[in-house]
């Protein structure tokens, strides 16, 4: 249920918990709200839903509550991005599952999928009735997904585990998008403040940056927030999603290469090269929308607790990149000793 929160068993679990929307602002639900917000932040910033909570009684309800928070933003782009992030997470999990579990999950969408033994002549883990195949395959542009190019057996399409996971990803994405169409009338004030922050974070992430500062990177010109994040990462200490996004986008915007940023993150105990590379290249504009993103504004960083303290130069500055440019000019004006 924690891995696949769209299953009927997860819905039953939620009904038994009896959590009411009006109660979400209460202190006892803070950890669930934190994880729900973490799921959405990860989707907005990196196209992933963050690290799974070790507690099932937090992880399972965090999904439907995240759905409520996303729906409350009333932003169709956030809805699409969140649904895609959840679907991709589930698709990655399915690729390492046994056939029986994949078939069971496919069955929740009434797919007619059957296991098939591999032979030396063909790679085929499943067969899926062609009408179920055609529900999702037409959205893929690769020629291999054209029905005319598929190997078939008695009206069923042959699939590998990875192909089955990719088709289910599309079905799950649609399923979650439909869940997100709910109309959220009212939420407790403490919860709506989280919704507002998430909407603002998404808005700032989509801003296309202006030209970056040129020349050598000068760490002494980093604003206090970035200097602190840089120190934390270099020391191998864990940093929040928004902290990692702020640092990465800042470093990319001042001219650091993706490989240099990757090397910085290697000091973290939870370093995952494949995932980190995807996230860094996405922020740099080398993947996805091909848009290079700016770090969040100072007020957003303060709200999320990323700003540890302010110095004199912070006064009147609204963005970390503005601070860096001003401080850099001051550093470069100083005569050599």
162 located within any domain: yes
Which candidate, 64, 55, 70, 54, places its Cα nearest to that of 19?
A: 64
Mean pLDDT of 70-83: 92
Checking if the pLDDT of 180 tops 90, the result is: yes
Mean pLDDT of 54-70: 92
Residue 334 predicted with pLDDT over 60 = no
pLDDT digits (tens, 9 = 90+) for 198-243: 998 888 776 544 444 545 788 889 999 999 999 988 888 888 888 9
CA distance 50 to 34: 11
Give all strands (DSSP E) within 145-274, no chain letters: 152-153, 156-159
**7 in the Ramachandran plot: left (φ > 0), alpha (ψ -120 to 50) or beta?**
beta
pLDDT at position 63 is 94
Terminal-residue alpha carbon distance, the chain: 64
% of the chain with per-residue pLDDT over 90: 42
Average pLDDT over residues 61-66: 94
Has residue 72 got a pLDDT over 90?
yes
Looking at the structure, tell me whether residues 83 and 195 fall in a common domain.
yes
Spell out the residues 6+ positions from residue 25 whose beta carbon is closer than 8 angstroms to its own: 187, 188, 189, 190, 191
Planar angle of CA 80, 86, 87, nearest 5 degrees:
85
Q: Which pLDDT does position 332 carry in this prediction?
A: 64
For the chain, what percentages of helix, strand and coil (3-state, to nearest 5) are there?
60, 5, 35
Whether the per-residue pLDDT at 50 is higher than 80: the answer is: no
Last residue of a domain, one of 166, 185, 217: 166
Based on the domain organization, do 326 and 227 belong to the same domain? yes
Which pLDDT band, with edges at 50, 70 and 90, does 121 fall under? low
Matching residue, tokens 């679990």: 13
Over residues 160-168, the mean pLDDT reads 94
Is residue 198, in this structure, part of any structural domain at all?
A: yes
Summarised one tens digit per residue, pLDDT across range 242-272 is 899 999 999 999 988 888 899 888 877 777 8
In a domain, 3, yes or no: no
The mean pLDDT of the chain is: 87
State the residue range of the domain holding 307.
209-333
Average pLDDT over residues 286-291: 75
Domain presence at residue 55: yes
Residues 286 and 316 in one domain: yes
Q: Do both 228 and 152 map to the same domain?
A: no
Check residue 114 and report its DSSP letter.
E
CA atoms within 13 A on the CB side of 125: 16
């Amino acid at each position: 249920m924690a891995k696949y929160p769209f299953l009927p068993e997860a819905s039953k679990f939620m009904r038994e918990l009896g959590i009411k929307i009006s109660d979400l602002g209460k202190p006892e639900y803070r950890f669930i709200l934190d994880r729900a917000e973490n799921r959405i932040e990860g989707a907005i910033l990196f196209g992933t839903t963050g690290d799974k909570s070790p507690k099932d009684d937090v992880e399972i309800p965090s999904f439907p509550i995240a759905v409520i928070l996303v729906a409350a933003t009333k932003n169709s782009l956030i809805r699409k991005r969140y649904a895609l992030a959840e679907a991709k997470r589930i698709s990655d999990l399915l690729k390492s599952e046994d056939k029986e579990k994949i078939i069971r999950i496919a069955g929740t969408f009434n797919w007619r999928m059957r296991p098939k033994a591999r032979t030396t002549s063909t790679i085929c883990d499943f067969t899926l009735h062609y009408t179920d195949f055609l529900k999702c395959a037409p959205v893929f542009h690769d020629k291999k997904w054209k029905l005319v190019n598929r190997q078939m057996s008695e009206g069923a399409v042959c699939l590998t585990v990875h192909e089955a996971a990719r088709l289910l990803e599309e079905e799950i994405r649609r399923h979650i998008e439909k869940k997100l169409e709910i109309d959220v009338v009212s939420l407790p004030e403490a919860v709506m403040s989280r919704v507002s922050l998430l909407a603002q974070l998404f808005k700032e992430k989509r801003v296309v940056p202006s030209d970056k500062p040129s020349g050598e990177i000068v760490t002494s010109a980093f604003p206090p927030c970035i200097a602190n994040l840089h120190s934390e990462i270099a020391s191998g200490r864990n940093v929040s999603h928004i902290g990692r996004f702020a640092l990465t986008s800042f470093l990319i915007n001042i001219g650091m290469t993706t490989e240099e940023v990757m090397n910085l993150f290697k000091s973290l105990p939870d370093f995952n090269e494949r995932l980190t590379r995807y996230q860094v290249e996405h922020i740099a504009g080398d993947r996805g929308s091909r848009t290079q993103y700016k770090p969040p504004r100072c007020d957003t960083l303060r709200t999320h607790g990323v700003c540890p303290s302010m110095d004199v130069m912070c006064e009147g500055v609204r963005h970390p990149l503005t601070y860096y440019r001003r401080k850099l000019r001051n550093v470069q004006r100083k005569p050599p000793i």
